[in-house]
Structure 1
Amino acid sequence: MNGEGTRTRVKICGLTHPEDVAGAVRAGADAVGVITEVPVDTPREVDPELAADLLADVPPFIAATLVTMTDDPEDAIDLVERIGPDAIQIHGRPDPAACEAIRAAGADLLLSVGTDHLEGIGRYEGRVDALIVDSTDEEGAGGTGETHDWERTRAATAGLEAPVVLAGGLTPHNVTDAVRTVEPFAVDVASGVESEPGRKDPAAVEAFVERATGAEGAPGEGQR
């Protein structure tokens, strides 16, 4: 969880075009996410070659994050070796030993967990670099555009040492309230800052970053 007075970090996810990557960087995002090799239909997925090109353009000190869904750690390791991200984000409930193997490939590991599976996530302590709590669909995928019970998420993650990243239905209009309720290390947004599926709205990205990182001040800003 966030320490008192600590700036909340922001990840802009589901980027599909160089212009959107550049826009997220200009807006002050701490991390950008590119999605590849997922078994669900999403307008935010790109092929591994484009993923590599998009992440190669991310400047230093901004985490270039590869987002994928796989039950096989070897597949994740292969993607890390081929694309070379700073971090890889996987979804589901992998064996903790698999997490350690993926981390050994040289990228930070972010594990995305659905809100229906928060029990027992403490077993990933020390085996992942951050835990993302997301709203998921029946296939276990995020990007639903739906929020979840932030109070429950706060209670379920309060004792964790691993950084907690809040995702699921966040927008420029609700991110301030979300940050104040959960006090996460970071927030993660995809569809909530789009002008159309798969394309980011620069103004929405800028507003999201501004309101997420300034959530400790300016009471009520997230409701405007």
Structure 2
Amino acid sequence: MTRVKLCGTTDEDDLEAAVAAGADAVGLISAVPVDTHRELAPARAAELAAAAPPFVTTVLVTMPETPAAAIELVETVGPDAVQLHGTLEPDAVATVREDVDATVVVALEAGETDATTAGRYGDVADGLLVDTPADGGGGGTGETHDWELTRELTAALDSPIVLAGGLAPENVADAVRTVEPFAVDVASGIEDADGATDADAARTFVERARNALAPIPGS
């Protein structure tokens, strides 16, 4: 069954909507050098991480310049996992993984990362996220990419692959059937016009992602 992360949680209402939708994980964005309404101050991210109920994984999403910066932020926020975007090399990621009490996921740019490079990150991280690249880095473009390329990457690696980039209730089932990822990640695809989590969209997204690979009755 495909797992689901709802990213861009900014307040208690977003968190409640994600939990009610059945999300496996929620994303808390902090310390990123790009302009986004989803960014939280580290102290606020820590509050929301502490407010999440048991069995819902809290994921700190960040773009650190150094391993030390990542480690310090993880210690401040206290998430269950940290999702690293940016330009840290595999040895730097290994340092983070050794020094934090959190699962480490590395974000890779779809279409820009070959299997060899991805494998080097997979050797030092607990999982890999494949996202549509943004001009300023960090993903979050709301645009899809070539899912067939990501499917090839998924097949070539042993690491759990999280699919991101332009996913929404309307296309997530097709994405899951094409890529067969370990998990999917969504932000803009479940937001309302004000940038808050739309409870109905979140619930539909989770349901369709989970059921995409279920056997068809009578088949």
Question: What TM-score does the superposition give when structure 1 sets the normalisation length?
Answer: 0.92
Rounded to whole Å, the distance in 2 between the matches of 1:11 and 1:50 is 19
Check 1:24–1:73 CA distance in 2 against 1; reply closer, same or farther (3 A cut): same
Give the counterpart of 1:101 among 95, 100, 103. 95
Q: Secondary structure at the match of 2:96?
A: helix
Give the distance between the partners of 1:71 and 1:54, measured in 2 at CA: 24
Match of 2:7 in 1: 13
TM-score, normalisation: structure 2? 0.94
Deviation at 1:197, TM superposition (A): 4.8
Alignment of 1:178-217 (within 5 A): 178-217=175-214
Gap regions ≥5 residues in structure 2:
none
User: How many residues get paired?
Assistant: 213
Which aligned pairs between 1:1-224 and structure 2 lie closer than 5 A? 7-104=1-98, 105-119=100-114, 120-217=117-214
Identity %: 53
Distance in 1 (CA, whole Å) between partners of 2:183 and 2:157 is 14
Specify the SS of the correspondent of 1:199. coil
The separation in 1 between residues aligned to 2:141 and 2:163, in whole angstroms, is: 14
Counterpart amino acid of 2:202? V
State the AA in 2 paired with 1:202.
Answer: A
Give the RMSD, CA atoms, in angstroms.
1.3
**1:4 aligns to what?**
none
The SS at the match of 1:10 is strand
Superposed displacement of residue 196, structure 1: 2.5
Deviation at 1:31, TM superposition (A): 0.5
1:154 aligned partner, one-letter code: R
AA partner of residue 116 (structure 1)? G
CA distance in 2, matches of 1:35, 1:198: 14
> Which piece of structure 1 moves more, 33-42 or 100-109?
100-109
Return 5+ residue gaps in structure 1 as ranges: 1-6, 220-224
CA deviation after TM superposition for structure 1 residue 106, in Å? 1.1
Q: State the shift of 1:194 in Å.
A: 0.3
TM superposition shift of 1:155: 1.0
How far apart, in 2, do the equivalents of 1:111 and 1:10 lie?
A: 17
Which amino acid is 1:110 matched to?
Answer: V
Q: How much has 1:97 moved relative to structure 2?
A: 1.6
Alpha-carbon distance change, 24 to 192 in structure 1, aligned in 2, over 3 angstroms: same
The one-letter code sitting in structure 2 at the alignment partner of 1:109 is V
CA separation in 1, counterparts of 2:49 and 2:175? 28
